[in-house]
Amino acid sequence: MAASMSVNADTFTSSNPFHICNICQKVIRKKENGVRVLRPVSSGPSAFIPEEEIVELSQVGPHTEQLLAEAYTPSGQLDNLTQVMGLHPHYLQSFLRSQFYLLRMDGPLPLHYRHYIAIMAAARHQCSFLVSLHVREFYRMGVCLDWLKGLQYAPQRLRNLNEINKILAHRPWLITKEHIQNLVKTGENCWALAELVHAVVLLAHFHSLASFVFGSGINPQVDTQNTSGFQSVHISNYCTCDLASDHHERDSSFSGTSPMTSDYVSELEALMERMKRLQEEREEDEASQEEMATRFENEKKESLLVSSGDFEDEVTPTSKVSRFVEDATFGYQDFARHGDDNPPTFRAHDYSWEDHGFSLVNRLYSDIGLLLDDKFRTACDLTYYSMASHEDVDTTMLRRALFNYVHCMYGIRYDDYDYGEVNQLLERSLKVYIKTVTCYPEKTTRRMYDSYWRQFHHSEKVHVNLLLMEARMQAELLYALRAITRFMT
Amino acid sequence: MRELSSWKFCEQHLTQKQAPLCVILCRGPTFSPGSCYDHVGLWRLGSNKQSIMHLRQREVNIFFSHFIEDYWVVGREERCRYFGAMEKMSRVTTALGSSSISGRTMFCHLDAPANAISVCRDATQVVVAGRNIFKIYSLEEEQFVEKLNLRVGRKPSLNFSCADVMWHQMEENLLATAATNGAVVTWNLGKPSRNKQDQLFTEHKRTVNKVCFHPTEIYMLLSGSQDGYMKCFDLRKKESVSTFSGQSESVRDVQFSMKDYFTFAASFENGNVQLWDIRRPDRYERMFTAHTGPVFCCDWHPDDRGWLATGGRDKMVKVWDMTTNRAKEIYCVQTIASVARVKWRPERRWHLATCSMMVDHNIYVWDVRRPFIPFATFEEHKDVTTGIVWRNQHDPYFLLSGSKDSTLYQHMFKDASRPVDRANPEGLCFGLFGDLAFAAKESLISGDANRKPYPGGDRRYPIFFFKKPDPTEQFANVSSALSVFESPVESKHMDWLVTTARLYLLSGKPFAELCDHNAKVAKELNRPQVSTTWTMLRIMFSDPANPSTPGPNHIGKLGTLPLMNSFSMKEMGAGLGVEGRLDRSKGESRQDNLHLEPGTSLINSNNDENEETEGSDGQAEYMFGDAELDDDDLYSMEHDNHGAEYQEYTLPQEAFPLRHEIIDNPSAPEHLQQDKADSPHASGNEADIMCLTPIESFSLISISQPLFSPHLPAQFFCPVVREMLIHYAEQGDVQMAVSVLIVLGERIRKEIDDLTQEHWYMSYIDLLQRLELWNVSNEVIKLSTCSAISCLNQTSTTLHINCSNCKRPMSTKGWICDRCHQCASVCAVCHHVVKGLFVWCQGCSHGGHLEHVMNWLKSSSHCPAGCGHLCEYT
């Protein structure tokens, strides 16, 4: 085992052991021009969140602890992702349960396939955290290790999955029943429907998890206990910024007690005021139907404008990740583009998770529906009835706005939702953040994270990330499952 | 009361001198079909149309419960007896209202997928509503005719996007729709303008899933929405009169009770069903959990007051009796997909129709008493059915349905397919201890005199008697007989497999020794063919340069076998084939035994004898050719059709004289003669091979030895070995196939495709695990060369340990706790930390290094920790 690991570790190391991602290359260029570069503030699990904010996990109840026990990495450490998510133990519980079921329990796919699919999915977003995590898991399986040399070493069957992998990751609305047909049609490398559903759930899970990882600035796993050659080589593969910390000069006013703080307070007050007003307005002001439709279109269109123009140049993925990516140029494109023939809007009432998605997924891959249902529900219903310093607030509206805004960007429309609310509740900087985290999470920066909701707690921002992650996962699943349903009928 | 006079009824008589009585249901001053029956009156015919008595509520119930099913009813109460057929009455009354319904199975294309449909009171028109469609069709004799398009305007608003629609059952111009944007809209067809929209209620914040008119009140409308609220509207007012909060997410269905004026039921996404009193919006009357996951639909029984059917995402339809204090589940039907709609069938007390939300496009009509097979199925739709409705409240023969495939269908019940006709009425199942239960149509088994009637199988008929059982309305009579065959206790059906699995050696020794060992094992279990196969394998694949050195006793036992080498491969194949046939014939006759119960014991005992004789033959070296003859003799006595094979097995006797003739010829070397003589016969008859006496074989061996020098390469045998393995696997002896595969390893692996290998491995492992032979199965997994198999051992390999001191999970290492910095597992013998295998006593939980504890317990019986417990090491 040790021998094989070291062999593969070699093949896995890029030619340049100290790889620097091109964000940092840019920074370095700036640095040479005399710009001060800051190291990540936090050495804890997250680059965005100070270590002390992340609750000691010993505080959680014994039940969760049991669950966490299963989440421990082989080295016996709780990984950073779990630690950050541990800010919301209630959610963490259902998250871990479904992830455990997906990766370890009985299912149509063999175990090493599952991890490989996870790697493929995470690699689409260049999420080295998840990729290396699952590369490690894959090693532990001890089979088919040469797949790790890259996607072209994997069997054709898995490589066929790449097509829907990239579509789901970047433009899920493009998936059609033909894609499903190509995978399922009889032949040497065909997929059974049950296997395909398993794979689709895995893909959606890890795409959205990548969003969370970048959105919360999860730091790479530094294993202090393990000093084996493999691990250390492995770690040196990361750029120190991990694509997450900001390369810009940090806003100095953020930490200090500057006069601007009062502005932030009023910002919060204003948001609460708007929520209250909306709540009351609803009874009297009824927008006309056409008005509602245009509001959705507006919101969809506007999501185009919030794209962050910061990164014009393509991020070249680090080589250790890129070996799992084929057709790397396939990236996100806006759902609603000016002038183009837009794909038809997805009507949530024609294909909803509760009615249709659940039934299909549960039919083909038993029990996963229940677990996902539980996870979605937990994520959507999670509330502490507080906003920043304010207690006893009904945040339903805000949560729904976040969830529906993500779906809106993916072209999923709810007839019974007034998209005007999104505009009122979500400020521009937040929209930029949402768009980045859901659509191209690899471009998330610390500045984006810091720039919205400055008064809010970190745990609340993690909560936002949870919602974004679940909304994205559901959107991807809806598109994929709808395609499968159409294939089946 | 004009209906009364024209109503004919059957002249079953009541009491002696009374004039015939007639029963009619009426409400208020007029009687009309579809109205609520508050009163039941009895009229004396020919009298001046005066009701002679009114039935009280309870009696009405009895009345209903007896009339639903086409029964002539003789009531239980002495005071009044009820006569008449409900069906007849309704027919007549409908006939008064409109022309009687006729039609055929027909459909029409809609422009868009339908979400819901509803019929008007007189069953002549149907409304179809969906996201992009809102039309009224009239039902003609031969076709649907579009009457009206309610979707008007250049750019129709979302108010037209309907999730549900309902036609009022009292007022034929009134419709209500539930819009996906949360609006509740009513439509008045009597309006002169093109836009028939009447009222618009936008009180719900989320999609409205369901609207429901009160069955008797014209102005009362109920709605249930995604936002968790139900609202009751009075259509004369601009807004809702009361709001009911389900305290839960999403109301999926609301239904007014048909019988109780004030009651309605609501079903929820969280699996609950609530009963409300329309007068009390503050809290529900009762609530119970009906399903896991959303309850998509519910429906009150049209006649039985207390019955509510619910259907949910958990693929079940449940019927609840609500008359008791706790809602009681009285029937449960398991369908194959989540249930989107459920509708009781009119006039048929036990029947209900369902359609599903996903995947399954059919409409099923179930008899709730027979929940395992649908009574009838309509299979016309190409996409999921979204709305079903019985065309008329009193006619069970017409069903209308709308679907996502943009069609509207009228199904005739007579055209429905009956799954029961196609169902296989035989069932077969093995019990835990090898018993076999077999159920078949009674007629098939009736010849069997010995059969005992199965207790409880007797069907108790209701107290009333059938009018005339309509064959299309009854399930085919499928009373079946169940026979249970007990396997004899001494049956060693699987014993050989278990023993073989335990004793076989698959690795760890030179190839030849493995083969010999396994051959011996097989031989001891009286499986000569398997044993021979092993020996043959040894010979084929052993390296001739360094021949294995079997002990002298081996030569004695296996002496005949080197001869095999000289036969052509074809012959061997044939030999195996015949052996196989023999096996199969055994199998067949065993199966036959099951059918012929009286003969079973006889044959079993014969079998036992057989085994004994075979056993004794085994001792007398390779005489099993005869032994099998015995076998066949025996079977052919029972079954004539084995005569042909019997013929084959007489051949060996002919072979003996032939061979002896050749031996007489001194000119040719003996062994060559032998070969020549054997080959032609052996091709037709393998028994010859087996019939060599030990003496002959001894002599042959000494002579034939030189023949070995031009040894055939091992690859030469691969095709035949491959065939042999496949043969074994097909015979059901996957154990042999896998064992040979493992023992031969690389020699044969490439010959057989990976999928087949994997399949064999999986079957064998599964078999071993069922027999709880975990060690063997693990060994097989370990030795397998398929990656898919060997990775089976990689699953669930994590062992989580909690610290024995602080009870927290041990995170980093297995022996030292991060938190309390204590060594958790210390050996009780040497007091050092155990880093490898830790063994502990389950009684006192002390333990330590495996070896230490083993040694300790050899000399002492007490716990090494000194706790005084008498530990035991097994």
- Catalytic-role residue among A24, A127, A239, A380: A127
Q: For residue B209, give the 3-state DSSP assignment.
A: strand
Relative to beta strand B220-225, strand B229-234 is antiparallel
Contact B313 A358 (CB under 8 A): yes
**Mean per-residue pLDDT over chain B, rounded:** 69
pLDDT for the residue numbered B276: 92
Most confident of A73-77, A212-216, B22-26, B84-88: A212-216
pLDDT for the residue numbered B628: 40
pLDDT for the residue numbered A200: 93
The larger pLDDT score, comparing residue B281 to residue A335, is at B281
CB B775: neighbour CB atoms within 10 A?
A: 11
Contacts of A414 in chain B (CB under 8 A): 207
The answer on pLDDT for B593 being more than 60 is: no
Contacts of B802 in chain A (CB under 8 A): 69
- Kindly state the average pLDDT of the residues B671-676: 42
> Which residue in the block uniquely carries the two structure tokens 């369901």?
B210
Most confident of A71-75, B588-592, B640-644: A71-75
The larger pLDDT score, comparing residue B389 to residue B840, is at B389
Contact B358 A72 (CB under 8 A): no
**Mean per-residue pLDDT over chain A, rounded:** 74
pLDDT for the residue numbered B564: 39
How is chain A split among helix, strand and coil, in percent rounded to 5?
Answer: 60, 0, 40
pLDDT for the residue numbered B618: 38
d(CA B367, CA B345): 10
- pLDDT, tens digit, 9 for 90 and up, residues A179-222: 998 888 877 788 888 899 999 999 999 999 999 999 888 887 76
Confidence class for position B463, pLDDT limits 50, 70, 90? very low
Contacts of A289 in chain B (CB under 8 A): 157-159, 181
Contact B181 A416 (CB under 8 A): yes
> Which residue in the block uniquely carries the two structure tokens 């039919």?
A363
The answer on pLDDT for B224 being more than 90 is: yes
d(CA B677, CA B658): 8
pLDDT for the residue numbered A304: 62
**Using CB atoms, which residue from A65, A78, A110 is nearest to B788?**
A110
Residue of A nearest to B182 (CA): A416
- Residues 6 or more apart whose CB falls under 8 angstroms from that of A292 comprise A418, A419, B158, B181
d(CA B537, CA B740): 9
Q: How far is CA A456 from CA A452, B655, B679, in A?
A: 9, 99, 93
Contacts of B337 in chain A (CB under 8 A): 359, 363
- pLDDT, tens digit, 9 for 90 and up, residues B75-112: 323 233 333 333 334 433 433 334 455 678 888 998 88
Contact A143 B206 (CB under 8 A): no
Q: Provide φ and ψ at B706, rounded to 5°.
A: -60, -25
**Using CB atoms, which residue from A111, A289, A489 is nearest to B794?**
A111
Confidence class for position A239, pLDDT limits 50, 70, 90? very low
The larger pLDDT score, comparing residue B794 to residue A69, is at B794
The answer on pLDDT for B529 being more than 50 is: yes
d(CA A201, CA B302): 43
Contacts of B293 in chain A (CB under 8 A): 358, 370, 373
**Using CB atoms, which residue from A69, A360, A415 is nearest to B809?**
A69
pLDDT for the residue numbered B643: 40
pLDDT for the residue numbered A263: 57
- pLDDT, tens digit, 9 for 90 and up, residues B470-482: 556 666 666 777 7
Give ipTM to 2 decimals: 0.72
Residue of B nearest to A75 (CA): B812
Contacts of A360 in chain B (CB under 8 A): 358-359
pLDDT for the residue numbered B222: 93
Contacts 24+ apart (CB under 8 A), B16-20: B18/B44, B19/B44, B19/B45, B19/B46, B19/B47, B20/B44, B20/B45, B20/B83
pLDDT for the residue numbered A305: 59
- Kindly state the average pLDDT of the residues B105-133: 89
Contact B359 A143 (CB under 8 A): no
Q: Which helix (H) or strand (E) holds B657?
A: helix B643-664
Confidence class for position A322, pLDDT limits 50, 70, 90? confident
Q: Which helix (H) or strand (E) holds B648?
A: helix B643-664
pLDDT for the residue numbered B148: 86
- pLDDT, tens digit, 9 for 90 and up, residues B602-621: 444 444 444 444 434 434 34
Q: For residue B617, give the 3-state DSSP assignment.
A: helix
Residue of B nearest to A416 (CA): B181
The answer on pLDDT for B117 being more than 90 is: yes
- Kindly state the average pLDDT of the residues B402-419: 89
Instruction: Look up residue A149 and give its two tokens.
Output: 């040399």
Chain B nearest CA to A472, separation (Å): 22
The larger pLDDT score, comparing residue B803 to residue B419, is at B419
Contact A359 B357 (CB under 8 A): yes
**Using CB atoms, which residue from B131, B179, B202 is nearest to A350?**
B131
pLDDT for the residue numbered B325: 82
The larger pLDDT score, comparing residue A70 to residue A421, is at A421
Number of A/B CB contacts below 8 angstroms equals: 112
pLDDT for the residue numbered B470: 57
Nearest to B293 by CA among A323, A372, A19, A391: A372
CB B414: neighbour CB atoms within 10 A?
A: 10
Q: For residue A353, give the 3-state DSSP assignment.
A: helix
Contact B534, B518 (CB under 8 A): yes
pLDDT for the residue numbered A209: 92
d(CA A100, CA A331): 29
A127 is catalytic: yes
Residue of B nearest to A349 (CA): B180
- Kindly state the average pLDDT of the residues B412-424: 84
**Using CB atoms, which residue from A292, A350, A354 is nearest to B158?**
A292
**Using CB atoms, which residue from A68, A77, A416 is nearest to B226?**
A416
Contacts of A415 in chain B (CB under 8 A): 158, 161, 179-182, 207
The chain A residues in contact with chain B (CB within 8 A) are 65, 68-70, 72, 74-78, 104, 110-112, 140-144, 225, 282, 286, 288-290, 292-293, 347, 349-350, 354-356, 358-360, 363, 370, 373, 414-416, 485, 488-489
- pLDDT, tens digit, 9 for 90 and up, residues A15-54: 343 444 444 455 445 444 443 434 444 466 777 777 766 6
Nearest to B576 by CA among B631, B633, B536: B536
Confidence class for position B749, pLDDT limits 50, 70, 90? confident
The region of weakest confidence among A184-198, B164-178, B539-553, B708-722 is B539-553
pLDDT for the residue numbered B170: 84
pLDDT for the residue numbered A450: 85
The answer on pLDDT for B165 being more than 90 is: yes
Contact A78 B811 (CB under 8 A): yes
Contact A143 B787 (CB under 8 A): yes
Contact B358 A360 (CB under 8 A): yes
d(CA B704, CA B555): 14
Instruction: Look up residue B149 and give its two tokens.
Output: 């398009």
The answer on pLDDT for A237 being more than 60 is: no
d(CA B847, CA B850): 8
- pLDDT, tens digit, 9 for 90 and up, residues B751-781: 788 888 888 888 888 888 888 888 888 888 8
